Amino acid sequence: MNKESKLYSIFKNKCPKCHEGQFFESNNPYNLKNFSKMPDECPVCGQKYEPETGFYYGAMYVSYAFGVAIFVAVWVSTSLLFPDMSVYLTIGLVLAALVLLFPVSFRLARLVWINIFVKYSKEYRNSVEQKQI
Ligand SMILES: [Zn+2]
């Protein structure tokens, strides 16, 4: 995967600015005690991970889009594979998929959201040095 691509940061759990520091402390979304823990800033380039208070409220829109995508994917695949399945069972499967995929969707939503606002910068080392002057 191209390291300069935003998808690299999103899917590899990396800082949106330098694509090197970890974004979430744990790489495993199913490490349920720590799946949402983030350092205050990138350990490599110093990018703040919460640029302003309430920054991640906006990630709910992204999360909502993932929720709709999961709903449609489960609904369409069950109605194609098992056309006789009851609606209640299908709803149950949709809810189960939403619950099981919540940690993944939560983390991807935050990574997508911060990647909308923070651009990749090859020159992050220069900017770190400028801050120290
Ligand atoms: Zn960084």
Cα of 9 vs centre of ligand 1, distance in Å, is: 10
**What is the per-residue pLDDT across 33-62, written as a single tens digit (0 to 9) for each?**
999 999 999 999 999 999 999 999 999 999
- pLDDT of res. 34: 92
Cα of 102 vs centre of ligand 1, distance in Å, is: 25
Cα of 47 vs centre of ligand 1, distance in Å, is: 5
Cα of 127 vs centre of ligand 1, distance in Å, is: 11
Q: Which residue type does 14 have?
A: K
Q: Which residues pair with 48 in a beta bridge?
A: 41
Whether 1 is in a domain gets the answer: no
User: How far apart, in whole angstroms, are the C-alpha atoms of residue 109 and residue 128?
Assistant: 27
User: How far apart, in whole angstroms, are the C-alpha atoms of residue 73 and residue 68?
Assistant: 8
Cα of 17 vs centre of ligand 1, distance in Å, is: 5
Reported in sequence order, the residue ranges of 1-133 that DSSP labels E, i.e. its strands, are none
User: How far apart, in whole angstroms, are the C-alpha atoms of residue 82 and residue 102?
Assistant: 25
- For residues 20-26, average pLDDT: 95
Q: Is 4 exposed, middle or buried (0-12, 13-18, 19+ CB in 10 A)?
A: exposed
Number of domains observed in the structure of the chain = 1
Q: Which pTM value belongs to this model?
A: 0.87
Whether 25 is in a domain gets the answer: yes
Whether 102 is in a domain gets the answer: yes
**What is the per-residue pLDDT across 54-84, written as a single tens digit (0 to 9) for each?**
999 999 999 999 999 999 999 999 999 999 9
Cα of 41 vs centre of ligand 1, distance in Å, is: 8
User: How far apart, in whole angstroms, are the C-alpha atoms of residue 49 and residue 56?
Assistant: 10
User: How far apart, in whole angstroms, are the C-alpha atoms of residue 50 and residue 63?
Assistant: 17
Cα of 3 vs centre of ligand 1, distance in Å, is: 13
Domain ranges, residue 123:
6-132
Confidence label for 2 from pLDDT (cuts 50, 70 and 90): confident
Average pLDDT of the residues of the chain: 92
- pLDDT of res. 3: 87
Cα of 5 vs centre of ligand 1, distance in Å, is: 14
Cα of 48 vs centre of ligand 1, distance in Å, is: 9
Among the ranges given (36-45, 95-104, 107-116, 119-128), the one the predictor scored with the smallest mean pLDDT: 119-128
- pLDDT of res. 1: 80
Whether 107 is in a domain gets the answer: yes
Is residue 131 pLDDT above 80, yes or no?
no
Whether 96 is in a domain gets the answer: yes
